[in-house]
Structure 1
């Protein structure tokens, strides 16, 4: 537990995004599968299947949980085939309400397409060339503490003798291997991606520490393990302290200023649209909805970003495709009261958008935040536009 409490905050230091949302159901699926494997009760595998699917909904790489669940089913007390069927039934039951929601609104295949055949996801994982050396470096850097203890336990003695301990050990190793492989998908190796592997690494480290500390284990191995544990634990504490200091820095002042202005100059029913790396919070902070289905343009209005855990992002490239046309269609149907364009996105290359803004909007010169652009809708016969 101590290891996880020092590892997880560092990996989760960016923000609570989809990796954070996927972690609880992924971990719940693994623990339920272990319980089912040790008790032989199929209902735990149904819970594991449902939790697995919820993890996939939060983040597609959550599908890796199928590996430890399958290992628990294969090596556990329940019949393997029935355990798998129970997991499948639980997964179908978890996904069915979402499919019904889409079907009742006339889009029965949209849910399946978004989850399984999402073209954005396939484009994202194929943008960066996979580098195995970088994969190993990132894994060692982010999970050094628990993995070092686990490696030192190799050959330290016999594994667990009780069936329940054997099931847990096998599932923990499968969980770690699958979670690390999922973190490698896409070749970017961001630290947040390794958050999904942190519980597994700590489980394996705990098993390794038990082997090292077991009666009859070689004493010198204990001393080396203790030294490595304290050394890397101290390093992790320093990283944790740095993260704590960074979290004390307010980074959304500009968003809050923009949101206050938008809330003051628009009505509750008005729609807005923001395009920029740090502008998504304006929607929530201002209480205004997006004027388009294109809420986040990265990978839709642009090519996927190509930075990695150690290399900076190149300039984003505008993608003139279906998403760009959808955006303009939405704008014509529901013209946004305010459009905010950030300096990090290629909005100047989106010529149809620039033409749309010139024809029906005016730029607000009073907003001075770097190269940020704020466009306000001009008065029209349908009603006055908001005024700053």
Structure 2
């Protein structure tokens, strides 16, 4: 349950100028910690997927109908809105939104800490959060993808619940869910703070329902339900190599531990009034574990509760311990920022070469099929996908977070191959890029794709091991 502010804490909140001094500092830190994000046009395939979705939506496409993904609609809409304002040639506007998302999260955490432990703890929480927010592989920490936009909603949900604003807390939980399903994990600490009392529960439901129902009605209600909930069973269930999964989980956890090295020593000590924060951390850990994929960006959800728990512990320690923790966090931050600025970009260079080849081989109005896991190729080439399935994953059950899982047409999303056949028959792609390069989803393992290539296409060259196929000319 939230602590009742002490008289000294209440008095400290009346001091003028607190936020006018703190917010510029947090804004500067948010910009500095996101600086590597501008070092390259794309950080990972998720950014590419969202960029392609946004272009299709801007051209009249409909989410869950003409373009699909196993994600709620909020982040694709953010991309679409940013592109509408500035054009779709650059992700710079989306990265500005990511900076604002991190700034909002830091400010909400600062406000939570200030309410509980005073002005100094507020500053500590906001600064520490931004310093550790980069403590992952740069392609996970710097990309403007789903998890970054979950964080303001989760922090806002706790902020509202801490003040007993249950309707607003429900709306914030809904916004976190609409960024990505695992954002709904924040409901657990909100329920903890509510004490499961009837009044708060009713207000939570009343606040959460309109955003979710509105999103469903604004898209396709049955498609929204299928792609965000009922159709994700194969993705969320485990199949594959335990060794691969464990190595990924431990590897990304070790990177996070290095990034959060300044937060961990204070957590050894216990401080009063932290039960709700531990529930938040446990719920966030459950979100990371869900599906056993353990991508690095999943771990971002752990950072807000970890920051507040460390701040609570530092509040009980001598002031010099806080200064040392901030200094250590700054050093770790500098290390990860250097990594982000100097990191190689092999995957991006490959996608660029494929995009250049696709652009040369097709006209602006012709459709292309890139068979692989690099949807950013469509965006870089400025070509329209030939199908609503932007990667091979939904058609084969292939996932980058698994090894040894069943892959093939039988493991596809229900009905996906029927849709694929209709789309490629009605509007055959002018170019097919087989970017499988020996992966389990290669055409030789997929009868439908193999027949399509044999009947209508001929090989026209290779790029980095990817094979280009053009439509056979009728004689």
Confirm or deny a common fold (TM above 0.5). yes
Structure 1 residues 296 and 135 mapped into 2: Cα distance closer, same or farther (>3 Å)?
Answer: closer
Match of 1:339 in 2: 432
C-alpha displacement of 1:133: 10
Structure 1 residues 90 and 231 mapped into 2: Cα distance closer, same or farther (>3 Å)?
Answer: closer
In the alignment, structure 1 residue 17 sits paired with structure 2 residue 124: no
Tell me, yes or no, if the aligned pair for 1:29 and 1:65 is still in contact at 8 Å. yes
In structure 1, C-alpha distance between the alignment counterparts of 2:473 and 2:172, rounded to whole Å: 51
Tell me, yes or no, if the aligned pair for 1:153 and 1:212 is still in contact at 8 Å. no
CA offset digits 1:56-115 (Å, max 9, x no partner): 23322112110122123229xxxx322222221221110122222345xxxx42212222
Match of 1:363 in 2: 459
In the alignment, structure 1 residue 153 sits paired with structure 2 residue 269: yes
Which of 303, 310, 318 aligns to 2:408? It is 318
In structure 2, C-alpha distance between the alignment counterparts of 1:380 and 1:348, rounded to whole Å: 25
Higher mean alpha-carbon deviation, 325-334 vs 229-238, is at: 229-238
Higher mean alpha-carbon deviation, 48-57 vs 191-200, is at: 48-57
Match of 2:211 in 1: 94
C-alpha displacement of 1:229: 7.2
In structure 2, C-alpha distance between the alignment counterparts of 1:326 and 1:197, rounded to whole Å: 38
Match of 2:343 in 1: 246
Tell me, yes or no, if the aligned pair for 1:271 and 1:288 is still in contact at 8 Å. yes
In structure 1, C-alpha distance between the alignment counterparts of 2:276 and 2:262, rounded to whole Å: 17
Which of 344, 357, 380 aligns to 1:285? It is 380
C-alpha displacement of 1:251: 4.6
Tell me, yes or no, if the aligned pair for 2:366 and 2:383 is still in contact at 8 Å. yes
In the alignment, structure 1 residue 269 sits paired with structure 2 residue 269: no
CA RMSD after TM alignment: 3.3
Structure 1 residues 140 and 341 mapped into 2: Cα distance closer, same or farther (>3 Å)?
Answer: closer
In structure 1, C-alpha distance between the alignment counterparts of 2:261 and 2:299, rounded to whole Å: 13
TM-score if structure 1 supplies the norm length? 0.74
Match of 1:385 in 2: none
Unaligned runs of at least 5 residues, structure 1: 38-43, 160-165, 215-221, 308-312, 382-388
In the alignment, structure 1 residue 7 sits paired with structure 2 residue 128: no
Structure 1 residues 350 and 134 mapped into 2: Cα distance closer, same or farther (>3 Å)?
Answer: closer
In structure 2, C-alpha distance between the alignment counterparts of 1:133 and 1:262, rounded to whole Å: 36
- 1:164-203 → structure 2 map (5 Å cutoff): 166=273, 169-203=274-308
Match of 2:169 in 1: 48
Structure 1 residues 244 and 197 mapped into 2: Cα distance closer, same or farther (>3 Å)?
Answer: same
C-alpha displacement of 1:245: 1.6
C-alpha displacement of 1:135: 6.0
C-alpha displacement of 1:209: 0.5
Tell me, yes or no, if the aligned pair for 1:48 and 1:69 is still in contact at 8 Å. yes
- 1:113-152 → structure 2 map (5 Å cutoff): 113-119=226-232, 121-128=233-240, 129=242, 139=253, 141-143=255-257, 144-145=260-261, 147-152=263-268
Say which one has the larger Rg. 1
Structure 1 residues 123 and 285 mapped into 2: Cα distance closer, same or farther (>3 Å)?
Answer: closer
Higher mean alpha-carbon deviation, 251-260 vs 229-238, is at: 229-238
In structure 1, C-alpha distance between the alignment counterparts of 2:247 and 2:137, rounded to whole Å: 23
Tell me, yes or no, if the aligned pair for 2:263 and 2:325 is still in contact at 8 Å. no
TM-score if structure 2 supplies the norm length? 0.62
Tell me, yes or no, if the aligned pair for 1:12 and 1:195 is still in contact at 8 Å. no
Which of 213, 221, 224 aligns to 2:318? It is 213
Structure having the higher helix fraction is 2
Tell me, yes or no, if the aligned pair for 1:305 and 1:314 is still in contact at 8 Å. no
**Aligned pair count?**
337
Higher mean alpha-carbon deviation, 230-239 vs 186-195, is at: 230-239
